[in-house]
Amino acid sequence: MKKIINTEKAPKAIGPYSQAVEINGTLYISGQVPINPETGKIPDDITAQTEQVMKNIEAILNEAGYTFSDVVKSTCLLNNMENFKAMNDVYAKYYSENPPARAAYGVVKLPLGVMVEIETIAVK
């Protein structure tokens, strides 16, 4: 049975989608942008933006009873591939052992003018 996951510790959806959906032991987390859920603010640089995205993902994982060790796939979207190394340095801190499969894409534009968006799939 499909279960919708929502937490106040991550930003509310900015469109007609859920923060995450769990079905059959798999958690699908929608692309997270770097909105601080407490202030509604977006950091200015790629390092701080990536850190906020990862905190948002962590809040959703925790709400659903998962951890970063359950993550099997991530997709990273960057508005500028020049930011890849800085994003990767932050991302690596969260997956120091047995990192998930991943793709990273450069895109023309992201919602709200952010520099990074990351979607995540976790499995129990």
Domain count, the chain: 1
What are the CB-based long-range contacts (under 8 Å, 24+) for 88-91? 89/47, 90/47, 90/50, 90/51, 90/54, 91/50, 91/54, 91/118
Provide the domain limits for residue 38: 3-123
Predicted model pTM: 0.97
Is residue 14 pLDDT above 90, yes or no?
no
Q: 97: domain CATH number?
A: 3.30.1330.40
- The pLDDT tens digits of the residues spanning 22-39 come to 999 999 999 999 999 999
